Amino acid sequence: MANNISATIYRYLCELFDGRNYKYTKNDDELRLEIVMVGEDEPMRFYINVDEARSLVIFRSFLPFKFKEDKRIAGAIAVCNINYNVCDGLFNTDVRNGSTYFKLTTSYRDSIISKAVLEQMFELSCQMVDKYNDRLAAVNDGTLDPNDIG
Amino acid sequence: MATEQELKQAASLFKTLCDYLDENTWNYKKADDSLGVTFGTKGDDLPIPIIIRINPELMVLSIYATMPFEIPEDMRVPMVVAVTAATHCMVDGGFDYDVKSGKILFRITSTFRESIIGKKLIEYMLGCACVMTDEFNDKFYKMVQEKMSAGEMLDMIYKEA
């Protein structure tokens, strides 16, 4: 059974999505939610976890493609170029298999975090993934130089 | 532009930060024109310069730990393998790497909008920054000195992760 703080944050997340009439799936035992949002081009699937053991709220979104083997270094250059110019959140790629994801975390250790934090995290995650998913796909296709991704 | 309320909340968090650093006898310098501090510490081997910033517009607390060296030009592209692999091992935070200049820094952030942030959160974030940078700075340095291949870099990161 989740402690009160973790359970409250999980409830805030459910209320955030319920309030906007968003459809999502959830796991009350593991404090996990999954939601698909439609951006400008590709749909974006977000996995949200209230990690009670670490006191972390974690937003993750995996891109719907993997970098081809000959594009994995380019993909790694691209995510580095994105990350060096952002304040919060990051993209990363596993060069062993080309899997690429966005991650945004906030700790709530010894703290009381608000619904506004979760709303901001969700909005930023959507904006970042929507902005860069097609650009990262273009790097994979060879139609965008990873140094031009900004 | 931050609102008055946002500035007030950011200032309150800055006070909490400085109180925490004072209580733990960190010798830090306040930034003149922003809600930030800088100081240094040392890990097992290399020094770890630390920068902490509170952004009142985005309402984000950021802690950066920089590498005390830059990646030389001939290793800047290969090092993307090491940086992304190291970040992949982490649940919170990650390495930012400017491929053009060879600068690497660890970044960890927390959003504090309309929230009350405790000292233990600052301690946790600072701990992550120091531990993760100490874990990887000598590895990055060794990779550069020995001009390791991508395969060798991945072996080093994942074998010891």
B92 touches chain A (CB under 8 A): yes
Token pair recorded at residue B40: 């240094």
| CB-CB neighbours of B142 under 10 Å | 13
CATH topology of domain B4-159: Yope Regulator; Chain: A, (3.30.1460)
Round to whole Å and give the CA distance between B27 and B75.
34
Q: What confidence tier does B159 reach under pLDDT thresholds 50, 70, 90?
A: confident
Round to whole Å and give the CA distance between A80 and B104.
10
Pairing of strands B94-98, B103-111: antiparallel
Tell me the mean pLDDT in the region A21-34: 97
| CB-CB neighbours of A133 under 10 Å | 23
Q: How many residues does chain B have?
A: 161
pLDDT more than 70, % of chain B:
99
Q: What confidence tier does B113 reach under pLDDT thresholds 50, 70, 90?
A: very high
H helix runs in chain B, sequence order: 4-23, 79-88, 119-145, 150-159
Token pair recorded at residue A6: 């973790």
In chain A, which residues have their Cβ closer than 8 Å to the Cβ of B112?
113, 117
pTM: 0.95
B154 touches chain A (CB under 8 A): yes
A73 and B55: CB-CB below 8 Å? no
Sign of the Cα torsion A73, A75, A76, A78 reads positive
Token pair recorded at residue B128: 């992550």
What CATH number matches the domain at A4-144, 2.40.37.10, 3.30.1460.70, 2.60.40.150, 3.20.20.70? Answer: 3.30.1460.70
B20 touches chain A (CB under 8 A): no
The residues spanned by each domain of chain B are 4-159
Q: How close is the nearest chain B Cα to the Cα of A87, in Å?
A: 8
**pLDDT for B148:** 93
**pLDDT for A3:** 78
Q: What confidence tier does B34 reach under pLDDT thresholds 50, 70, 90?
A: confident
The residues spanned by each domain of chain A are 4-144
Token pair recorded at residue B153: 């870099």
Round to whole Å and give the CA distance between B44 and B95.
19
Q: How close is the nearest chain A Cα to the Cα of B79, in Å?
A: 9
- Which of A55, A83, A116 is the closest to B114 by Cβ? A116
